[in-house]
Chains A and B, each alone.
Chain A
Amino acid sequence: MPKKTYRQAINEALRQEMERDPRVILMGEDVAGGMGSPGEDDAWGGPLGVTKGLMPRFGRERVLDTPISESAFIGAAVGAAATGLRPVAELMFVDFFGVCFDQIFNQAAKFRYMFGGKAVTPVVIRTMYGAGFRAASQHSQCLYPIFTHIPGLKVALPSNAYEAKGLLIQAIRDDDPVIFFEHKAMYDEEAEVPDEPYAIPFGEANVTREGDDVTVIAMGRMVNFANQVADKLAKEKIGVTVVDIRTTSPLDRETILETAAETGRVVVVDESHPRCSMATDIAALVAQERFADLKAPVKMVTAPHAPVPFSPALEDLYIPSPAKIEAAVREVLAFQG
């Protein structure tokens, strides 16, 4: 199977869905680039080149550069979705959601319910998240727990290139608003990705490693870190199951609870802040539903309750690292009730 980067996988998913369905359009700041400029057209393809080549293929009518007016264009994507298009809007960094959140959580998320089941709002908002880029406090956050908190939004966090293509195609075909989180540190990571289109259903977790001793539940980039830890500990004959939840909303409760009960020792890894996070959400779920099966308290590995620092020396300490995950696994393993 061909190897592709996370960036290429996302680009391919967009291209194939735009070929399949003329109602799919893209919009965002410099998603093509060069609008009105004297030099090259399609000069950017987004700040990290993820959408490059799509404007020349589909034209400016379907790949729309926008002014820096997130409230207006994210809202326009929502309105267009509610009236017959299937827009994929790029919110460059998820940190910018503060500028346009009303259109997402009060409008897109609630139409279906408030309007008595009559509305369909198939909008996708692609957005970059995550630390590790030395991008400081306003360009490094995770924030997916905030979107997960809102009924009516679906939230996907692809953990590699294969997942990215399949989950994005599902997001575009899905009739609900989907927030699609792309980790900025993963765009150059490669995986085997089929050329043909495929959709990965939402709410179905993926068990990426199987072991008998500890269950690690993770999402997004943290799945890779958890896999590394599982592979390392396998050499010591410590069996680690790793669950990639893929979507935080809907959440695959069954797989989480089953794999938690199998080992009775659970670590949840979440790159976001610890309070009101996916880590607390999943830990509470397991504690509430599988208390009798637990052999140790559920352990959470998260970023601290602090903004993301700029200095590399601090940011490296900030991120939930494989070493921190390994220490947590050893801790739950060593726990004797």
Chain B
Amino acid sequence: MQLSRDQLLHAYRQMRTIRAFEDRVHEEFSAGNIPGFVHLYAGEEASAVGFCMHLEDRDHIASTHRGHGHCIAKGCDVGAMMAEIFGKKEGLCGGKGGSMHIADLEKGMMGANGIVGGGPPLICGAALTAKTLGTGGVAIAFVGDGGSNQGTTLESYNLAKVWNLPAIFVIEDNGYAESTASSWSVAGSQVGRAAGFGMPGYEVDGHDFFAVHAVAREVIERARNGGGPSLVHVKFARYYGHFEGDAMTYRGKDEVPRLMAERDCIDLFRRRVTEAALLEPSELDAIDREVAELIDRATAEAKAAPMPSEADLLTDVYVSYH
């Protein structure tokens, strides 16, 4: 199916927003303005956007420690996300969560997660809710290659299959878990694992937005129509370190520059849509400028925003205190 002009513009804007957001967080972290552990999604944008473009607010996703891209793709407010990462009271989680715990349940975003393998069981639950209440919703767990080896993930495959849940497992394989290569850490193959649980499994080039988008449509439609869970193995690369501050000495010499030059998902998208005369370069440039302004504004506002205060320290531990 061809994407409409609006869809193409939307996809480009989303991917560009994620990239610009991550590049800015990288700069601000390097300047010492952002505290804590920060894991950036730059280079992986086609996955979050390719899947989330098919979703609505009734659909749920669970993310990972590398969650900013999933949040943006699922509709989280960029300004409130930035404020959260700066630890501010106006942040999406009141400054209590930070980069690793951004969530917006109204948007169906069940949270970034500090625990590798924390998400898959949760989306089995979200899928069960959708099935039980008949919402028509689906649930997607984004999982790293490293997270694919966690017992919780493998147990979730089984549960999703035996309960025939509208659940989808997206294995985002950026080649590494911290400094460990996925070619070493993953026994068998992701698609083979899916087969072992009787689930349809797909491998897709994560640099190619259109390929991701097409597979995503198929597995999401299947889940929505009662066809049960699927697994998608998305292969691509991360541009920054595992976390901010990682010197990446484990990577090949020209690995990242080469990938950025030859396989960048946003460049490839641009080339494809302009060469096919689906969109004008000037339209895309205009989006770039708008996104840059959005990120500038979000950053300036986040910096200027007030910190939470002592009165916030003990709130929201429980819903009720009796």
Contact = CB atoms under 8 A, between A and B. Distances in A.
Interface in B122-158: 146-147, 149-152
Contact of B95 (A96, A304, A314): A314
Contacts of A323: none
Nearest to B97: A310
A98 B251 contact: no
Contacts of A136: 36-37, 96-98, 100-101, 114
Nearest to A96: B115
Interface in B278-316: 307-310, 312-314
B36 A33 contact: no
A306 interface: yes
A30 B36 contact: no
A39 B37 contact: no
A72 interface: yes
Interface residues of B, number: 51
Contacts of A307: 96, 317
Contact of B317 (A38, A95, A306): A306
- Chief secondary structure at chain A's binding surface: loop
Interface stretch (B1-9, B71-79, B176-184, B202-210): B176-184
Nearest to A313: B307
A313 B305 CA distance: 13
Interface string B249-287: 111110100000000000000000000000000000000
A71 B116 CA distance: 12
A99 B98 contact: no
Given A310-B93, A311-B96, 9 more contacts: A39-B250, A40-B249, A43-B250, A67-B177, A69-B151, A96-B115, A99-B115, A99-B150, A134-B37
Contacts of A47: 178
A314 B253 CA distance: 41
B87 A312 contact: yes
A35 B185 contact: yes
A311 to B, nearest CB: 3
B181 A35 contact: yes
B180 A310 contact: no
A70 B250 CA distance: 23
Contacts of B185: 35-36, 67-68
A138 B255 contact: no
Nearest first, the 6 closest Cβ-Cβ pairs linking A and B are: A36-B184, A310-B98, A138-B114, A36-B181, A311-B87, A311-B95
A135 B37 contact: yes
Contacts of A304: 313-314
A182 interface: no
A312 B113 CA distance: 19
A176 to B, nearest CB: 26
Contacts of A67: 146, 149, 177, 180, 185-186
> Which of A39, A96, A99, A306: most chain B Cβ within 10 A?
A39
> Which of B114, B147, B178: most chain A Cβ within 10 A?
B178
Contacts of A311: 87-89, 91, 95-96, 98, 307-308
Contacts of B228: none
A307 B95 CA distance: 13
A305 interface: yes
Contacts of A265: none
Interface string A4-22: 0000000000000000000
24 contacts: A34-B250, A36-B183, A37-B184, A38-B255, A39-B255, A44-B179, A67-B177, A68-B177, A69-B149, A95-B115, A134-B36, A134-B98, A135-B36, A136-B37, A136-B96, A136-B100, A136-B114, A137-B97, A138-B113, A306-B313, A311-B96, A312-B35, A312-B87, A313-B307
Interface size class of A (residues with CB under 8 A): 35 or more
Contact of A72 (B100, B146, B151): B151
Interface string A30-72: 1001111111100110010000000000000000010111111
Contacts of B117: 68, 99
A318 interface: yes
Nearest to A41: B250
B100 A139 contact: yes
A309 B84 CA distance: 12
Contacts of B87: 134, 310-314
A317 interface: yes
A313 B249 contact: no
Given A37-B180, A69-B150, A310-B95, A133 B255 contact: no
A80 to B, nearest CB: 19
Contacts of A68: 116-117, 146-147, 149-150, 177, 185
Interface string B229-256: 0000000000000000000111111010
A305 B251 CA distance: 43
Contacts of B150: 68-70, 99
